[in-house]
Structure 1
Amino acid sequence: MVRKPARTVAPARAAVPDLGALLAEVAKGDHDAFAAVYDAVAGPVLGLVRSVLRDPAQSEEVAQEVLLDVWRQAARYRPERGSAMAWVMTMAHRRAVDRVRSAQASSDRERRAALLDRTPPFDEVTEQVETRLEREQVRRCVGSLTPRQRESVTLAYYRGLTYREVAQLLSLPLGTVKTRLRDGLIRLRDCLGVTG
């Protein structure tokens, strides 16, 4: 008796779910459809996110955010623009890249803050030297005024008198005092190198 070779039976393949149809049901609020979508995409999403972030804890967190986005945004999926898996993976990639950028921005802020902490304290000696040099320059420039301009500027700006009080004290018309002060201030500005 001749025996026929035994036929091997291929294991039954699990039916690949139609993610596009499932997303349409998820958009309607179908929890069972979401469970099926979750089972189909959770592994690939985590793998993609982990390849971008490299940190397991952050990867799990971002993958969870992506799956939450799938639940919330299922109505936005458009089959004519590509496959459902591509849509989900694009969201995952964007979310992972956003996390990397956010972490980089945070690191940059911390680095700048650390640099600010290391700036030297206020240098009082330098400030005193600069103030003294400015005073000497002002004295020199006041000395370059005509005697009448210097007298008017000194009374108005160093003694704090009003223009009217300067005019009364010098027995001059108010307009003359204003002219002397204006001309004196212009010469001071030019001498001090003040622009504007």
Structure 2
Amino acid sequence: MDLPRGRDRGTGDRAAESTSGARAADATELARRLGAIAAGDRDAFTEFYDMTCARVFGLSSRILRNPALAEEVSQEVYLQVWTSAAREYDPALASPIGWLLTLTQRRSVDRVRSEQSASDRNHAYGASQLGREHDVVADEVGQRLDEQQVVDCLDTLTDTQREAIALAYYGGHTYREVAELLGSGLPAIKTRIRDGLIRLKNCLGVGSDG
């Protein structure tokens, strides 16, 4: 079955206008639409897409730093939602937006690794053929490796920590907005993010908060 489509615009074009709808989206409504998607409801899929595409495209863009790649990853994520929601989504383990962002983060990380492998192959060939380009390419590879280390360290967090941090730092939400989106109290969200950031800092080797 083909992936249902919304209106004839790409994820990037629609991201800005769907932001307000995504922020106002209630987790219960998203969960209800996921249930309908699992039953093959194309209208529910379009509604779910409209309510969440800004989050998905935004997170993927921040990780990949490339709008075209982020667009591709976003479409892959929604294809996975359409084909696998019935098997893969468990409301006991994550909120709908948390599950969706986890899919996005993982696919974006995979794409970073794939792009890095291609860059490494091109670098190895280019360095042997055009030695004077080595320094420029090496600097770029070094930057990408730093970015990859960050996204790799995200995998060391618990699902709840990664979910909150993705919304706050990749999604650009305030702590209060994160609390509303995840249906948790503000103190709990602050603690979750603080503990997650300490864990990230330790993973990145930049110390801890003591």
TM-score by length of 1: 0.50
Which structure has more relative contact order (CA 8 Å, sep 6+)? It is 2
Q: Which has the larger radius of gyration?
A: 1
